[in-house]
């Protein structure tokens, strides 16, 4: 009967209903692909199988397939199927179940009714040939730490100043040590007989003095560089603070604003603002309360009539503008 099982299984690829005469019929239904979130797996499109014992009239499909595969007459093929049906019924009666290889199991339930269990071992949908079930693992999102742009700029400038200050401290310390060494040498000379002071000692003092002067000059240069760097750093920080203050002032000054654009990033708002200024508008960038977006305003006023008139005029040039009331 293994040949019958193989023939029966092959019919599942070509037909949506296969009937075993005097026993019942198998019905195949299309099932779309889906994600099984319980075991994190992807199930490709397939055909699901169900069984209906009322579909037991011979439609000739199974018998003709047996006839063609085994090269026998229709009558002989029909007899083989009849014997196959008797074997199925006897097995169910004795063992309470019968397994169709690669298809499913038919068994009796507590009420002695036939039920079918789809083994889902084979995907009988031809269009899904080669597609298999596979598991996937969700990607865990890493929490990112957001830092304000102003804080990053200040940190960058302070780090730059620190990188210059540290070498200066080291050189200044060396210069002080050299200076103390010269003073000690001179004190020793003053307590001894000047006439006995040799030319070699005199050259040593000159050499030490030259080194000390050189170190002092280097210290002065580094000090000037740090002073300039700190000044530039403070200037840039003050510039950023002034921009933020200006944005806050603009948003509290008026009640009506004609908005030409809204951006999540400040640099894009600044670009549009510069473009509007070149066109003759007294525009500015504004940010409302704790909202994240930067708005570019081409006109602001406390007068409702003036706001409406200017809005209608500007809208003729750009129909994407809108009137914001605060």
Regions in the chain scoring below 50 on pLDDT? 145-148, 182-183, 185-186, 188-202, 204-206, 209, 211, 215, 251-252
Does residue 272 share a domain with residue 219?
no
- 147 inside domain: no
Q: Please tell me whether residues 108 and 221 are part of one structural domain.
A: no
Q: Write down which residue in 87, 106, 135 finishes a domain.
A: 135
Where a domain ends, among 218, 243, 268?
Answer: 243
> Is residue 248 assigned to a domain?
no
Asked whether residue 93 falls in the same domain as residue 8, the answer is yes
The predicted structure's pLDDT at residue 186: 44
In a domain, 268, yes or no: yes
| Positive or negative torsion for Cα 168, 171, 174, 180 | negative
202 shares its domain with 305 = no
Asked if the structure places residue 115 within a domain, the reply is yes
pLDDT of residue 127: 73
Predicted local confidence at residue 78, as pLDDT: 95
Residue 9: inside a domain? yes
Residues paired with 42 in a beta bridge: 35, 134
**Looking at residue 317, what is its pLDDT?**
81
Total domains in the chain come to 3
Whether residue 145 is contained in a domain is answered as no
Pair (225, 290) in one structural domain: no
Residue 97 CA to residue 83 CA, distance in Å, equals 17
d(CA 77, CA 71): 9
The domain of 100 spans: 2-135
Same domain, 219 and 162: yes
Does 30 share its domain with 97?
yes
Q: Which of 53, 51, 54, 32 is nearest to 43 (CA)?
A: 32
Residue 17 sits in the same domain as residue 121: yes
Looking up residue 283, the CATH number of its domain turns out to be 3.30.70.1070
18 shares its domain with 119? yes
Closest CA relative to residue 219, chosen from 182, 177, 175: 175
10 and 82 co-located in one domain? yes
Q: Which of 135, 170, 199 is the last residue of a domain?
A: 135
Asked if residue 111 and residue 85 are part of one domain, the reply reads: yes
Summarize pLDDT for 161-202 with one digit per residue, the tens: 666 666 666 665 655 555 555 445 445 444 444 344 444 444
Residue 13 shares a structural domain with residue 129 = yes
Rounded distance between C-alpha atoms, residue 236 and residue 156, angstroms: 11
Residue 48 located in a structural domain: yes
Residue 188 domain-assigned? yes
């Amino acid at each position: 009967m293994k040949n019958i099982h193989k023939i029966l299984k092959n019919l599942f690829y070509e037909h949506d209903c296969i009937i075993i005469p005097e026993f019942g019929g198998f019905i195949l239904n299309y099932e779309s692909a889906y994600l099984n979130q319980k075991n994190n797996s992807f199930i490709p499109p397939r055909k699901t199988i169900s069984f209906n014992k009322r579909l037991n009239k011979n439609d000739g499909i199974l018998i003709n397939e047996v006839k063609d595969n085994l090269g026998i007459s229709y009558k002989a093929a029909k007899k083989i199927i009849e014997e196959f049906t008797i074997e199925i019924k006897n097995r169910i009666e004795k063992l309470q179940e019968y397994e169709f290889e690669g298809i499913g199991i038919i068994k009796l339930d507590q009420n002695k009714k036939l039920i079918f269990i789809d083994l889902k071992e084979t995907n009988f949908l031809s269009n899904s040939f080669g597609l298999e079930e596979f598991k996937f693992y969700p990607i865990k999102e890493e929490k990112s730490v957001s830092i304000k742009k102003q804080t990053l700029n200040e940190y960058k400038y302070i780090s730059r100043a620190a990188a210059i200050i540290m070498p200066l401290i080291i050189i200044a310390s060396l210069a002080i040590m050299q200076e103390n060494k010269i003073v000690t040498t001179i004190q020793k000379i003053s307590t001894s007989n000047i006439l006995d002071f040799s030319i070699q000692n005199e050259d040593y003092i000159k050499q030490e003095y030259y080194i000390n002067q050189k170190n002092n000059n280097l210290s002065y240069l580094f000090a000037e560089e740090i002073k300039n760097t700190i000044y530039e750093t403070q200037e840039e920080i003050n510039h950023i603070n002034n921009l933020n203050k200006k944005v806050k002032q603009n948003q509290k000054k008026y009640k009506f604003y004609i908005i030409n654009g809204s951006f999540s990033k400040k640099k894009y708002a600044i670009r549009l603002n510069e473009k509007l200024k070149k066109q003759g508008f007294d525009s500015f960038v504004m940010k409302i309360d704790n909202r994240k977006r930067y708005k570019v305003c081409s006109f602001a006023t406390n007068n409702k009539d003036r706001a409406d008139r200017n809005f209608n005029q500007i809208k003729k040039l750009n129909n994407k503008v809108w009137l914001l009331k605060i």
